[in-house]
């Protein structure tokens, strides 16, 4: 299910109605969409949502995403495109999908990159853990 950067951008443009569902974005829209996608995902990575994304320059290149993260990225890009193009999203289903995507990707990001705390040494304590008060 690997998709190209252009496929992800096209889907997001179509989802918010910037281009018709049977059309593709123009070359300028594609370049703009890629810039927005780069800016957004790199900014989110800085805040902790790490999906493996790095700056992309080629619309035809495969997106550096896990297959299971593609849908969520499309939804979040749709929100960013709507904002950039001055579109207010009023479709409650799309709004819920975007909210669900953000929660899902944040949760997955934590799963992908959190340390395995089971390897950390544990302080010794009382019979039920924690400090020994006896």
pLDDT tens digits, 25-65:
999 999 999 999 999 999 998 888 888 899 999 999 999 99
pLDDT tens digits, 11-25:
999 999 999 999 999
Domain chopping of the chain, boundaries: 5-113
Q: Per this entry, what is the length of the chain?
A: 134
Q: CA 19 to CA 12: how far, in whole Å?
A: 9
Q: What is the pLDDT of residue 119?
A: 54
CATH number (3.40.50.1100, 3.30.470.20, 1.10.3230.20, 3.40.50.1820) of 5-113 reads 1.10.3230.20
Average pLDDT of the segment spanning 6-13:
97
Q: Are 72 and 101 in contact (CB under 8 A)?
A: yes
Closest CA to 18 of 96, 106, 78: 78
Average pLDDT of the segment spanning 58-76:
96
Average pLDDT of the segment spanning 64-78:
96
Q: How much of the chain, in percent, has pLDDT values that exceed 90?
A: 70
Closest CA to 80 of 93, 89, 68, 90: 89
> Over 60: is that where the pLDDT of 73 sits?
yes
Q: Are 10 and 19 in contact (CB under 8 A)?
A: yes
């Amino acid at each position: 299910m690997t998709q190209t950067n252009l496929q992800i951008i096209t889907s997001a443009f179509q989802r918010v109605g910037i281009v018709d569902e049977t059309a593709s974005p123009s070359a300028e829209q594609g370049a703009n969409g890629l810039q927005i996608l780069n800016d957004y995902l790199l900014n989110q990575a800085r805040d902790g949502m790490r999906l493996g994304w790095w700056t992309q320059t080629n619309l035809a290149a495969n997106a550096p995403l896990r297959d299971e993260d593609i849908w969520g990225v499309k939804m979040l890009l749709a929100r960013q495109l709507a904002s950039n193009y001055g579109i207010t999203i009023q479709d409650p289903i799309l709004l819920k999908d975007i909210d669900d995507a953000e929660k899902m990707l944040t949760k997955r990001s934590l799963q992908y990159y959190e340390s395995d705390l089971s390897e950390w040494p544990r302080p010794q304590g009382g019979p039920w853990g924690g400090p020994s008060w006896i």
